[in-house]
Amino acid sequence: MFQTLPSRFAEILSPKNIKQRGELLLSAIDRVIAFDKLNPEELQAYQFEKLKSLVSEAYHNVPLYWKKYHEAGFDPASLKTMQDLYRIPLITKADLRNAGLRSIKNFARKEPVWLFSSSGSTGVPSRVYREEQALWHFMARSLVIYKNWCAGKPLVNVLYITDLAAGSIDFALADLLQTTVIEKRILGSSLPTPELVHAIELFQPEFISSYPSTIRSIAIAMHRCGKIFKGLKLLHLTSEMLEQTTRSLITTVFPHAKIVETYTSSEAGLIAYSCGTHPSRLHIAETEVLFEILDNDGKPTNKVGQSVVTDLINHCTPMIRYCGLGDYAALDHSNCECGTTHRSIKTLEGRISDSIVTPDGGLISPYLLIDAIEEIAGIYQFQIVQSSKNSLKIRIIHDISSRSNQANVQTSVHDALKKVVPSMIIDVDFVSTISSENNRHKIPLVVSLGFGSHSPSTFSL
């Protein structure tokens, strides 16, 4: 059954630091509200000024960018208009990953920072520094969006089910979230599914924030028992794509919940979010990011192409024309009835992860598996595939630049996953490439046996 655990965060909040955090959050909210008052011309001018400042600062203070721009013959001083954006060299995940921590950090910045590690949506681990003010901005923007989702009347009975692995951006945001939410309402997504179901029954939340894979496991468990929860009014999903099968199951178990989504990443923060009027439409967070879609030749396209993002908020590890998200998207050029002047995303193909089915029929969170191995030295890229109810196949591209040989990597991965799923056979294979399937651009990070293998037989789509 669900139990209250000791604090998972480094600092027990006192009235003094709660007040300090509140002031930081309110200040960030003021900035976000000021951003939202910009008209289209002011927004474009703001984006360009931020871009120029970021490019210049990165070139002079971040070794990764100095090297990249110097080798490409790009002079930041030549950036005169937004049309020059396409002359700025792209930054890849390989650039970020291979640069080393000293090369990705802005050495001129002295404010408090967090170091995040994430396999992201591709299974390629990378690290990013993010300054605390950028996290407060992320939190403030999220609260403003949340209020909009609630039509100006925020729900107070909430439950957050998130990745609490140390070093993840969601852990850092959960820590800051304590400014407005008590800790017992913030649960780890890696908790056993029955405990998460019990927490929902205990707290009876009107709002839940989590991941599609986590809510899918909860919905499957509840549906198996014939449970329907009608008290949920708003369900926020992030980090993964919500495919139609999961959406159908969720709406069966939570029939009164409006489903909203955000498109986020550890590297670039908040990128897009569901419209408060039309939740199926994703508006780009234009004051937080510059968002591009490029074809295979690196040119802008109106069709489905590769997502490229520039983070306008974080300076500690600048993300300027970053193409390492691995996501594919297309723009919707029609105007939204909500009145926003921000562009919208029509198609988005992002991270797909699913819960693993254990031999006894239980479900294991994909985040528990990802967190267990993504920090192991010697892994360049990985994919976790459930080949049967009793076994997992781990595909690994070896990082030949590391000091870890394949035998050590194989043993480390095997032992780490055995601790998570001791009842399963762990098979570690080294491969030269990891490919997508079923005509998708995106490579699933965790592949389960499929919905039919662990969905209730009475459920029909």
- Least confident residue range of 265-269, 295-299, 352-356, 368-372: 352-356
* Predicted confidence (pLDDT) per residue in 168-224, tens digit: 889 999 999 988 899 999 999 989 999 999 999 999 999 999 998 899 889 988 998
Reply yes or no on whether the pLDDT at 457 is more than 50.
no
Mean pLDDT score, 351-380: 79
138, 177 Cβ separation under 8 angstroms: no
Residue 146 — pLDDT band, cuts 50, 70, 90? very high
209, 171 Cβ separation under 8 angstroms: no
Instruction: Tell me the C-alpha distance between 170 and 61, whole Å.
Output: 27
Instruction: Tell me the C-alpha distance between 92 and 246, whole Å.
Output: 31
Reply yes or no on whether the pLDDT at 355 is more than 80.
no
* Predicted confidence (pLDDT) per residue in 86-106, tens digit: 999 999 988 988 888 899 999
* Predicted confidence (pLDDT) per residue in 208-229, tens digit: 999 988 998 899 889 988 999 9
Reply yes or no on whether the pLDDT at 289 is more than 50.
yes
Instruction: Tell me the C-alpha distance between 396 and 331, whole Å.
Output: 34
Q: 329 φ, ψ to 5°?
A: -150, 170
Q: 365 φ, ψ to 5°?
A: -60, 135
Reply yes or no on whether the pLDDT at 452 is more than 60.
no
Q: Closest Cα partner for 401 from 380, 376, 428?
A: 380
Residue 365 — pLDDT band, cuts 50, 70, 90? confident
Instruction: Tell me the C-alpha distance between 454 and 416, whole Å.
Output: 25
Residue 439 — pLDDT band, cuts 50, 70, 90? very low
User: Which residues make Cβ contacts (< 8 Å) with residue 313, sequence separation at least 6?
Assistant: 134, 137, 138, 269, 288
What's the confidence (pLDDT) of residue 4?
Answer: 42
Output helix, strand, coil percentages for the chain, rounded to the nearest 5: 35, 25, 40
What's the confidence (pLDDT) of residue 228?
Answer: 95
User: Which string of DSSP letters, residue by residue, matches 278-322?
Assistant: -TTSEEE-TTTEEEEEE-TTS-B-SSSEEEEEEESS--SS--SSB
What's the confidence (pLDDT) of residue 125?
Answer: 65
Mean pLDDT score, 367-392: 85
Beta carbons within 10 angstroms of residue 136's beta carbon = 22
Mean pLDDT score, 228-245: 89
What's the confidence (pLDDT) of residue 333?
Answer: 87
Residue 446 — pLDDT band, cuts 50, 70, 90? confident
Please tell me the pTM assigned to this model. Answer: 0.80
Position 162, amino acid: T
User: Which string of DSSP letters, residue by residue, matches 226-254?
Assistant: T-------EEEEESS---HHHHHHHHHHS
Reply yes or no on whether the pLDDT at 411 is more than 90.
yes
What's the confidence (pLDDT) of residue 454?
Answer: 41
Reply yes or no on whether the pLDDT at 3 is more than 50.
no
Per-residue b or e along 12-49, where b marks 16 or more CB atoms closer than 10 Å to that residue's CB:
ebeeeeeeebeebbeebbebbeebeebeeeebeeebbe
Residue 438 — pLDDT band, cuts 50, 70, 90? low
Mean per-residue pLDDT of the chain: 87
Q: In the chain, what percentage of residues exceed pLDDT 90?
A: 56
Give ∠ CA 13-14-17 in degrees, rounded to 5: 80
95, 62 Cβ separation under 8 angstroms: no
Residue 2 — pLDDT band, cuts 50, 70, 90? very low
